Amino acid sequence: MEKDEYFEKRKWMVEKLKRELELSDKVVNAMLKVPRHIFVFDELKDEAYNDYPLSIGFGQTISAPHMVAIMCELLSLEEGNKVLEVGAGSGYHAAVVAEIVGERGKVIGIERIPELAKFARENIKKLGYENVEIIVGDGSRGYEKEAPYDRIYVTASAPDIPPPLIEQLKKGGKMVIPIGDFIQYLYVIEKDKKGRITKKNWGSVRFVPLVGEYGFDHKG
Ligand code: SAM
């Protein structure tokens, strides 16, 4: 494990998450490895290992570490999985997932704000991940070109499950998505081998809105 100048802070953050949540070794190891301070503005680096969202500009945020950990656990990520992330933001969550799915896996992050997609791409490049691709576009439509996906997760809250995401999820696959406007819940969607869908409510959450064809009609 690489010990950069923020390693002790990162370890402290992960120890705290371990006390508060039931975390698997793969999620713990990925979060210990990915340097969250690389994904935030210079003036926020000292806050990078506190458990809250931070601004990444354009009215958007890098999600709180506990939410990244919870979503990774709910997805039951496995080595070799092909994963679609809707809402790549800073690229941090994609990097954590990339650590878990490994070199045989792939993460495709889709981000609607071109400047953020560039920011995410640069951050990912700095750390040398070759199994992450960041694309600009409306992720509420999914990304047909690389479909189907073993796992899909959405980091912005949708009015309902976007039908293209259901279509692009592999049989036997899993999706995690926040749904709702002022009141939001995180859902775990499973598609069984026969293509039947089940939907479980994990609990209340707070995300920025998903904007786009199957998102809310927000401007920002
Ligand atoms: N996962 C990110 C990270 O690790 O930094 C945090 C994501 S932030 C909470 C949500 C992101 O979703 C924002 O960057 C926002 O621009 C993006 N977003 C909203 N609607 C979108 C859409 N239809 N397609 C792609 N990205 C979208």
- pLDDT-derived band at 218 (thresholds 50, 70, 90) equals low
- For the chain, what's the residue count? 220
- Separation CA 211–CA 208 (nearest Å): 9
CATH of the domain at 200: 3.40.50.150
Cis peptide before 148 (omega within 30 of 0): yes
Question: Within 10 A of 147 (CB to CB), how many other CB atoms are there?
Answer: 17
What is the residue whose two structure tokens read 């704000």? 113
Residue 218 CA neighbour count, 13 Å, CB half: 14
Q: In angstroms, how far is CA 198 from the centroid of its own chain?
A: 21
pLDDT for 220: 45
Catalytic residue list = 63
pLDDT at residue 2 tops 70: no
**In a domain? residue 159:** yes
Mean pLDDT along residues 153-170: 98
pLDDT for 64: 97
pTM of the model as a whole: 0.97
**In a domain? residue 127:** yes
Residue 86 Cα to ligand 1 midpoint, Å, equals 6
**In a domain? residue 29:** no
**In a domain? residue 193:** yes
- Separation CA 207–CA 157 (nearest Å): 6
Mean pLDDT along residues 4-15: 96
Ligand 1 atom closest to the Cα of residue 92 is 4
**In a domain? residue 41:** no
Residue 113 Cα to ligand 1 midpoint, Å, equals 8
**In a domain? residue 132:** yes
Ligand 1 atom closest to the Cα of residue 120 is 5
- Separation CA 215–CA 195 (nearest Å): 24
Contact 167, 185 (CB under 8 A): no
The residue nearest atom 1 of ligand 1, judged by CA position, is 88
Residue 164 Cα to ligand 1 midpoint, Å, equals 17
**In a domain? residue 185:** yes
- Separation CA 160–CA 119 (nearest Å): 28
pLDDT for 102: 98
Q: In angstroms, how far is CA 35 from the centroid of its own chain?
A: 15
pLDDT for 1: 59
Mean pLDDT along residues 157-161: 97
| Ligand 1 shell residues, CB under 6 Å | 60-63, 86-90, 92-93, 110-113, 116, 138-140, 155-156, 207-208, 210-212, 215
Residue 194 Cα to ligand 1 midpoint, Å, equals 31
The residue nearest atom 15 of ligand 1, judged by CA position, is 87
Ligand 1 pocket test: pick from 75, 111, 161, 219 the residue with the most ligand atoms within 8 Å of its Cβ.
Answer: 111
**In a domain? residue 117:** yes
- Domain with 112, as residue range(s), is 67-205
pLDDT for 3: 81
- pLDDT > 90 in the chain, percent: 96
Summarised one tens digit per residue, pLDDT across range 62-104 is 999 999 999 999 999 999 999 999 999 999 999 999 999 999 9
Contact 38, 127 (CB under 8 A): yes
Summarised one tens digit per residue, pLDDT across range 34-67 is 999 999 999 999 999 999 999 999 999 999 999 9
Ligand 1 pocket test: pick from 208, 216, 219 the residue with the most ligand atoms within 8 Å of its Cβ.
Answer: 208
Terminal Cα distance for the chain, rounded: 39
The structural domain count of the chain equals 1
- pLDDT > 70 in the chain, percent: 98
Tokens of 12: 């402290």
- Separation CA 52–CA 132 (nearest Å): 24
Mean pLDDT along residues 177-192: 97
Ligand 1 atom closest to the Cα of residue 94 is 4
Q: What is the average pLDDT score of the chain?
A: 96
